Structure 1
Amino acid sequence: MPSSLHHRLSRQDYKTLSLAALGGALEFYDFIIYVFFAAVIGERFFPADVPDWLRQVQTFGIFAAGYLARPLGGMIMAHFGDRVGRKKMFSLSILLMALPTLAIGLLPTWQTLGVAAPLLLLVMRVLQGAAIGGEVPGAWVFVAEHVPEKRIGFACGTLTAGLTAGILLGSLVATVINSTLSASVISDIGWRIPFFLGGIFGLVAMYLRRWLQETPVFQQLKAREALSKTLPLKAVLLSHKRGVALSMLLTWLLSACIVVVILMAPALLQKQQGIPAALTLQANSLATVMLLAGCILSGLIVDRWGAALTLGIGSILLAIGSTLFFYCAAWGSGYLFATYAIAGLSVGVVGVVPFVMVRAFPAAVRFSGISFSYNLSYAIFGGLTPIVVTLLIKTTPMAPAWYVLALAMMGALLGLWLAGNKRHLPLLRALDH
């Protein structure tokens, strides 16, 4: 009996979901660990006589290159994912992440190689960006096409939680290394350890992915010779503009909320409110754990009540939770842990996003549709959000709160739109059009 006809997750479904979430977490860890060691990497890969600000700009420029590579890498991998199979691309994306991560840990520095060292680092970051561009949409499509119809929300929410766990893992590894090794040891060899760990774990995860099976939906498409006859991306742009617009707006909500509430908030609390760094990072870890729980909870609620209601009410709760956090933080650290935990949980509404996206495109072009929308939107809004928020802070210190509030309102409006357009969200049958 095909998996989509019953409502319980089978043992194979749990295995698929676990391996996808584990691989996704490790890929996000590999992609993000660079940021936690950016200062040391700057010292090792650029000449000592350049001004500190310039070294910082160059180091973060190489980090940003990873984001810019996402759309192109994601679209190429999605093209083949729609043509030759989801599983092959799913395994390739983790290999494409693990090898460059391992290579960064082995790279000679400026003192040894001169200008070739930062250039090699740039190449590795571009490869990592291409890999993550294929991994996230690929993982969502892969699990959604495996699990029963009534469990897609839970599967996508759990997977999104897995990706976010990679950021938490990066933070914990950075904390352990900075707590146990001296500054000179970290500068000499300690900064390489997290890249070795990431590369080795990635290769193990790739080995484990050998046990995954191709999705039943893709097998059906292939058997019925219903694979996209034209270029999948061309079909997406010609026939699925509404799905692209919806997916890009939802990705804006997802990327901006995580960037502002999870990634930017600790630095903002330290700078604006003078809250000690150790305290903000502890509260941030708690908020990230609550975000994981929020993603899974959103997925469970989607399966029960549908995307429209979950997104609409979840966005209103996001507006309340994030505003409460930023306003309370402005009064001091008294309620920091409680309000940050609530904000983290409310950001979990982003667990709804992949559920809507996998249903916004028919199976033959699903991977390409999600990959194009998600990666393009993430490259634009993931990159612009920190700049916009930083510029707005000059006008009002509450800019982060207002920015998230505006996006939460957009999320609520999208929920209303979905409520009136249910017929435009096809089920996951292979031959929906």
Structure 2
Amino acid sequence: MTSQPTQRTTSKVLLAGLIGNVMEWYDFAVYGYFATVIGREFFPSSDPAASLIGAFGAFAAGFLVRPLGGIVFGRIGDLAGRKRALQLSVMVMAVPTVLMGLLPTHQQIGIAAPIAVVLLRIIQGLSVGGEYTSSIIFLSENAPDRQRGFYAIWGLWGSVLGMLIGSGFGDLLAHALTSAQLGSWGWRLPFLLGALVATTGVVIRQGIGAEMIEPLAKSPIRETFGRYRLQVLRVMALNIASSIGYYAVFVYAVSYVEEVDHLDPATSLSLNTGVLAVLLLLYPISAWLSDRIGRKPMLICGSSLLCFGALPFFNLMHSGDPQRVLWGELGLTLAVALLAGGKNPANVELMPPAVRCTGLAVAFNVAEGYFGGTTPLIATWLIAKSGNPLLPAGWVAFGGVCTLITVCAFTRETAFRPLSTETG
């Protein structure tokens, strides 16, 4: 399907695949970790919960438009090549991150401030709509058979590295600055640092060279929603559990333990940084295991752990004891890692080559945007309406059920077959 340079090294392929995800998830991490401050500065209210809902509502807005961005970049990937899509996405996604660090607050410019936040999140959502999917397709198509899981995981590994950098920088600021300094100007610094991450990504991806590709579909968008719609729906459902679980533990949990259980920001960020480091270690192990025992066992184990473990894990996170909170977050982290090992390569293997970029971008971004990206908002709303701090566990378990049913009833094993390049 593609012509590959004979001298391309494995390290160059992996680095080009992961760097955009570092940028993307660094931004999401920083926004999620400082959601309380952003809510207060841009969505002020006498009710702190309302301010937080406003901040997470803007966060969710970016995810709601991700399928549209996925269609745009997916079409570029199917018609002009994976590399072109990767180069464009990393160039565009940095702009909202840096501008967020410069944006005046509600006190300074009034209603224009929250409107600007929402617009920046929408631009971010559009620009990153094809980033993850293009990167894992690029990695999988350049991987040897029986190593696709291990190659593809580095796209996700890059996302966790981005979150770890964002969390680590936030943790550093929380310990180095006073609460007043952090709330006044310190929260802006991680957004401004995003310019450095973006510049690195542009340089790396411009160095991966040109790519010749022969399109397998004249209209990838029409075929995605027509001939291949059932395959797209199946892949979407496979991603629901991991999307909800990921955002529950690595974005929402920071605000959860601060707002519900009143842990200080330094403690909550330290806990989050720790579990992110664990996830970085688990991802390659899970991918290696997936290449040996298959995608389905990994997906079944991970989704089952969310189904039956969500409530006990949230009970631990709600304890107010940092050590027990850590165990709850680690439980969710294990489920996310198991799911990633299976779904990451299966996403590519199950998607027909003719619409691989477009179809996967639509499937993944619907799951990520409408289920994962809305998780902080839904969880905050559930607690505000019910008063039950454990109710978000039901949303997490629901995600596990969706993926478990799809794996068991509608998904074949793909790990031990060559990656298809035919249109059929």
TM over 0.5: same fold?
yes
Tell me how far apart the structure 2 counterparts of residues 277 and 191 of structure 1 sit (CA, whole Å). 12
Larger mean Cα displacement after TM superposition, 36-45 or 286-295: 36-45
Larger mean Cα displacement after TM superposition, 405-414 or 283-292: 405-414
- Identify unmatched segments of 5+ residues in structure 2: none
The 8 Å contact of residues 175 and 266 in structure 2, kept in 1 or not, is answered as no
CA 426–357 in structure 1, closer or farther in 2 if over 3 Å, else same: farther
State how 1:129-168 maps to structure 2 within 5 Å.
Answer: 129-168=125-164
1:298 equivalenced with 2:286 (yes/no): yes
The 8 Å contact of residues 74 and 375 in structure 1, kept in 2 or not, is answered as yes
State how 1:202-281 maps to structure 2 within 5 Å.
Answer: 202-213=198-209, 219=212, 221-222=213-214, 226-229=215-218, 231-269=219-257, 278-281=266-269
Amino acid at match of 1:431: E
State how 1:354-393 maps to structure 2 within 5 Å.
Answer: 354-386=344-376, 388-389=378-379
1:387 offset after TM fit, Å? 5.2
- Tell me which of 177, 200, 214 is aligned to 1:181: 177
Aligned-partner SS, 1:227:
coil
CA 398–153 in structure 1, closer or farther in 2 if over 3 Å, else same: same
Larger mean Cα displacement after TM superposition, 331-340 or 190-199: 331-340
The 8 Å contact of residues 319 and 408 in structure 1, kept in 2 or not, is answered as yes
1:414 offset after TM fit, Å? 3.3
The 8 Å contact of residues 161 and 293 in structure 1, kept in 2 or not, is answered as no
TM-score using structure 1 length: 0.82
CA 115–309 in structure 1, closer or farther in 2 if over 3 Å, else same: closer
Look up the match of 1:29.
Answer: 26
Tell me how far apart the structure 2 counterparts of residues 308 and 40 of structure 1 sit (CA, whole Å). 41
Q: Which has the higher contact order (CA 8 A, sep 6+)?
A: 2
The 8 Å contact of residues 62 and 122 in structure 1, kept in 2 or not, is answered as yes
1:234 offset after TM fit, Å? 1.1
Amino acid at match of 1:343: L
Look up the match of 1:430.
Answer: 421
The 8 Å contact of residues 64 and 369 in structure 2, kept in 1 or not, is answered as yes
- Identify unmatched segments of 5+ residues in structure 1: 5-9
CA 319–37 in structure 1, closer or farther in 2 if over 3 Å, else same: closer
Decide which structure has the larger Cα Rg and report it. 1
Tell me how far apart the structure 2 counterparts of residues 38 and 361 of structure 1 sit (CA, whole Å). 35
1:362 offset after TM fit, Å? 2.1
The 8 Å contact of residues 28 and 132 in structure 1, kept in 2 or not, is answered as no
1:212 offset after TM fit, Å? 1.6
- Tell me which of 332, 350, 353 is aligned to 1:343: 332
Considering fraction of residues, name the structure with more helix.
Answer: 1
State how 1:321-340 maps to structure 2 within 5 Å.
Answer: 322-329=310-317, 333=321, 335-340=324-329
Amino acid at match of 1:354: N
Equivalent pairs: percent with the same residue?
30
Amino acid at match of 2:186: G
Q: Where do 4+ consecutive residues of structure 1 move more than 6 Å?
A: 423-426
Look up the match of 1:310.
Answer: 298
Larger mean Cα displacement after TM superposition, 377-386 or 70-79: 377-386
Q: CA RMSD in A?
A: 3.5
Look up the match of 2:407.
Answer: 415
The 8 Å contact of residues 255 and 378 in structure 1, kept in 2 or not, is answered as yes
Q: How many residues align?
A: 417
1:154 offset after TM fit, Å? 0.9
- Tell me which of 89, 100, 103 is aligned to 2:99: 103
Tell me how far apart the structure 1 counterparts of residues 317 and 52 of structure 2 sit (CA, whole Å). 28
CA 183–366 in structure 1, closer or farther in 2 if over 3 Å, else same: same
Tell me how far apart the structure 2 counterparts of residues 318 and 234 of structure 1 sit (CA, whole Å). 35
Amino acid at match of 1:365: V
**1:276-304 Cα deviation digits (max 9, x unpaired):** 65544433333222233333222111211
